[in-house]
Amino acid sequence: MSKLKVLSFGLGPIGTSIAKLALTRKEQLEIIGAVDANPAFEGKDLSELTGNASPTGVKVTKSAGDLYDKADVVLHATSSFLSVAEPQLMAFCETGVDVVSTNEELAYPWFTHKDSASRLDEAARKNGVTLLGTGVNPGFVLDALAITLSGVCASVSEVRATRILDATKRRLPFQKKVGIGLSTKEFEENVRTGKFGHIGLPESIAMVCDSLGSPVEKIDQDISAKIAESTVKTEHFGSVDKGKVIGLVQDGRGYSKGRMVARYHIEMYAGAESPKDEIELVGNPTIKLQIPSGTPGDIATAAIIVNSIPRVVEATPGLKTVKDLRPASSIML
C-alpha cells in the first residue's frame, strides 16, 4: 500500500500536535506540506514547530498553492467556528482533497448550521471529496461513545452526559477559552458574544438524537462561571484569587417530540478534582459508561484526527460525521 499524502493546515497547538503524531506514522503517512497564516512560521522547517530533533524537509508556507493537487488528505485545524472554516473547506472541496478537521461546528452541523452543512455536503459530493469534523469533544466522548453504547439498549428514553476536566492539563488557548483569571463581569461579557465556552455541545446533542431516530426540535444551553473558592495556582495565569473565574460550567438540553431527551453537563476549570467522562443512557436497560479520569484532551485530539484519516479515505463522498463511519482505531506499537 502506498503512503497517504497529508497536508497539515493550521499549526496552532492542536494542529502542531496533529502534525507531530502524523510524522510518527511513517509507514502509512507522508506529510507533503504544512500551511499556516502566521507569518512568523513561514519558511520554517516543520520540525521547529513540532519539536522534532531532525528536520522534516517540510517548510511551512502561508498558503497551500499547488500542494492541494498532490495531497490525499488535509488535516485541518484552524478554528472552532464554521463561519471561519467554510471558505477553507470549500477550497479543499474544489481541489478534490479529503479533509479531517478539528472544527467543532463541523462535527455535526446538520442542526446548528444546516445551510452551511448543505452547501458543504453538495460541494463535497460534486467533487468526490469526503469531509469529516471530529475530535474528542465533539466527535468522541459525548456523542460517538453514547451512540455506540446505545447498541446494547432495546430503547433509550434520555441521554445524560457529564464531562469534568482539569483545564490546567490543557493547552493555553483552551485555558483562555474557559475563562481562567477573568472577573465575573469579563466572563459574562464573553458569554454574551456567543463565541465563548465549549463549542460543540449542541452538535453532540443533535448527533446523538438523530442517531437514535429522534431529531431535536430545540437545544438550549447556558454557561456559568466557576469561581475560585480559594487562591488557585496556575502555570499560565499565575495565582487566581478567590472570587475570580477558574473556568466554566456548561449545561445543554435537547428536546425532541416535546420533551427533554438529552441533558449534558460540562465542567472545565483549573484544578478540577475528579475529572471524568460519563454517559448514562436511561432506557431498557439503563446503562452507564465511565472513563474514570477523563479522556486526556490534547494528545487524544491529535490521535483521533490522525486515526480518522483511513476512515475518510475509504468513505463515500460527502459531508460525513462520526455517526456515519466505522470507528477510528489506533495502531499497536
Interacting residues toward a second copy by CB under 8 A: 21, 24, 136, 140-141, 144-145, 147-148, 150-157, 209, 211-214, 256, 261, 281, 283-285, 287-293, 295-296, 299-300, 302-304, 306-308, 323-333
Which C-beta is closer to a second copy: that of 29 or that of 232? 29
Does residue 125 contact residue 318 with C-beta atoms inside 8 Å?
A: yes
CB of 87 to a second copy, least distance (A): 29
DSSP string, 187-249: HHHHHHTT--S-TTHHHHHHHHHHHTT---SEEEEEEEEEEPSS-EEETTTEEEPTTSEEEEE
Sign of the four-CA dihedral 81, 84, 87, 92: negative
Which C-beta is closer to a second copy: that of 231 or that of 286? 286
Which C-beta is closer to a second copy: that of 78 or that of 295? 295
CB of 286 to a second copy, least distance (A): 9
Give the type of residue at 185: K
CB of 141 to a second copy, least distance (A): 8
| CA–CA gap between residue 213 and residue 308 (Å, rounded) | 25
Does residue 4 contact residue 30 with C-beta atoms inside 8 Å?
A: yes
Written as nine digits, the cell of 30 is 507522508
Does residue 242 contact residue 230 with C-beta atoms inside 8 Å?
A: yes
Which C-beta is closer to a second copy: that of 83 or that of 293? 293
Which C-beta is closer to a second copy: that of 87 or that of 213? 213
CB of 206 to a second copy, least distance (A): 13
